[in-house]
């Protein structure tokens, strides 16, 4: 399928005045970088000599950062704990020009933190600090009231569900109804726990594992035909306007009511796939608010993900990088 570069570039030019409501779990992605030269005398484990530590916004924070990185605006609605990590997240959001009025604190839960220990470019272990308990009814009311206050400003809704308790049936139902009322797109980066609740959204963007487990299949489809059957089954069951199954190095497959499109990966080199799904759903949502059809939106998000996986850690793509990679693409 030949790419219409001018069409994609004209869509990207409309990003600057778009505002996306990003609702979901947020986390701090911490990285401890070091070297291993010996085994501990205390246990048969490597001793990491730490050289540096870095951190990034993860989950819906990374989604929001992907949105502002290409010149648009993001309103984040999420929940953090009442701890130092929460303050770090708020400061990182503010430093990226992201409003924090929708970041709510919950004294009963920790802020989600994922710490990856990496030596010689190899991840040795990941340490997670989190709660998966659903938010309370009172917290849901605060979130709903905040969204009601800003709903006239938004052009699209993006749900970033990482299964940490922010996305509940009540919140999902409210957001889907709101999108219909406002006549704006609503996209979902899903988790398997709530898979059957994402009904009648604009676009659902699971990876192949999430699509498989969400439909309660016992084994992951391997052939193109099996993947096509899985996609059509999800369309029938959840009735989104479109479904995008991301497939890592095999690109992505777009399912519409009557058509199926396969879009190959645009990555030249792959260093780290962390956060690539965030990039896909962020750029796809933005593209739809800028008037793109589903195929063009997928092409733009696919190019963006191709840039991001060429960077180490949770990363984003700039508007200039995105335009450049599209202009230089050889059909």
Ordered DSSP codes for 177-234: HHHHHHT--EEEE--GGGGGG-TT-SEE--BHHHHHHHTT-SS---SHHHHHHHHHHH
What the block records as the tokens of 10 is: 């004209």
What is the predicted pLDDT for the residue at 310? Answer: 73
Decide: 112 and 135 in contact? Cβ < 8 Å.
Answer: no
- Exactly one of 128, 278, 293, 331 is catalytic; which is it? 278
3-state secondary structure of 250: helix
Position 271 scores a pLDDT of 47
295 Cβ contact partners less than 8 Å away, ≥ 6 residues apart = 1, 254, 261, 263
**Contact (Cβ atoms closer than 8 angstroms) between residue 286 and residue 15:** yes
Instruction: Count the neighbouring beta carbons within 10 Å of the beta carbon of residue 214.
Output: 22
The helix, strand and coil proportions of the chain, stated in percent and rounded to the nearest 5, come to: 40, 25, 35
Instruction: Specify the pLDDT at position 239.
Output: 98
What counts of helices (H) and strands (E) characterise the chain? 10, 13
CA–CA separation, 179 vs 291, rounded Å?
16
Average pLDDT over residues 281-306: 96
| Beta pairing partners, 57 | 28
CB atoms within 10 A of CB 34: 18
DSSP result, 259-307? -EEEE----S--S--TTHHHHHHHHHHHHHHTT--HHHHHHHHHHHHHH
Single pTM value for the model: 0.94
pLDDT above 70: percentage of residues in the chain = 95
Whether residue 315 has pLDDT greater than 80: no
The DSSP-derived string for 68-86 is HHTT-EEEEEEEE-SSHHH
CATH code, residues 5-35+49-327: 3.40.1190.20
- Cβ atoms within 10 A of the Cβ of 178, count? 18
Is 50 exceeded by the pLDDT of residue 224?
yes
User: Cα separation of 156 and 3, whole Å?
Assistant: 25
Is 278 in the active site?
yes
Give residue 1's pLDDT band: very low, low, confident or very high (50, 70, 90).
Answer: low
Closest CA to 69 of 20, 141, 133, 126: 20
Tens of pLDDT, residue by residue over 131-190, are 999 999 999 999 999 999 999 999 999 999 999 999 999 999 999 999 999 999 999 999
What are the CA-CA distances from residue 90 to residues 77, 188, 213 (Å)? 12, 23, 33
Phi, psi of 17 (to 5 degrees): -105, 15
Say whether pLDDT at 278 is over 60.
yes
For 16-51, write each residue's pLDDT tens digit.
999 999 999 999 999 999 999 999 999 999 999 999
């Amino acid at each position: 399928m030949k790419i219409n570069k001018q069409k994609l570039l004209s869509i990207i030019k409309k990003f600057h005045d778009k505002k996306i409501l990003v609702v979901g779990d947020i986390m701090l992605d911490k990285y401890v970088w070091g070297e291993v030269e010996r085994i501990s005398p205390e246990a048969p484990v490597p001793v990491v000599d730490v050289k540096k530590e870095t951190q990034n916004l993860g989950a819906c924070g990374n989604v929001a950062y992907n949105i502002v990185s290409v010149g648009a605006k993001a309103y984040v609605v999420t929940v953090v704990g009442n701890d130092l990590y929460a303050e770090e997240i708020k400061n990182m959001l503010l430093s990226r020009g992201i409003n924090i009025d929708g970041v709510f604190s919950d004294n009963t839960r920790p802020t989600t933190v994922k710490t990856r220990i990496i030596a010689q470019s190899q991840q040795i272990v990941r340490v997670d600090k989190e709660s998966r308990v659903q938010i309370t009814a009172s917290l849901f009311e605060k979130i709903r009231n905040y969204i009601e206050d800003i709903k006239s400003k938004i052009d699209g809704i993006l749900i970033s569900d990482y299964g940490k308790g922010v996305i509940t049936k009540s919140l999902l139902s409210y957001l889907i109804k709101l999108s219909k009322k406002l006549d704006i797109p609503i996209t979902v980066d899903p988790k398997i726990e709530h898979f059957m609740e994402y009904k009648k959204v604009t676009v659902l963007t699971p990876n192949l594992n999430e699509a498989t487990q969400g439909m309660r299949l016992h084994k992951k489809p391997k052939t193109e035909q099996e993947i096509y059957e899985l996609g059509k089954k999800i369309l029938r069951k959840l009735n989104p306007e479109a479904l995008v199954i991301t497939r890592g190095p095999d690109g992505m497959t777009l399912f519409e009511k009557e058509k199926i499109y396969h879009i190959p990966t645009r990555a030249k080199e792959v260093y780290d796939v962390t956060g690539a799904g965030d990039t896909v759903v962020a750029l796809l949502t933005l593209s739809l608010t800028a008037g793109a059809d589903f195929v063009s939106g997928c092409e733009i998000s696919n190019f963006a993900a191709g840039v991001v996986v060429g960077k180490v850690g949770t990363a984003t793509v700039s508007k200039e990088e995105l335009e450049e990679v599209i202009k230089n693409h050889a059909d």
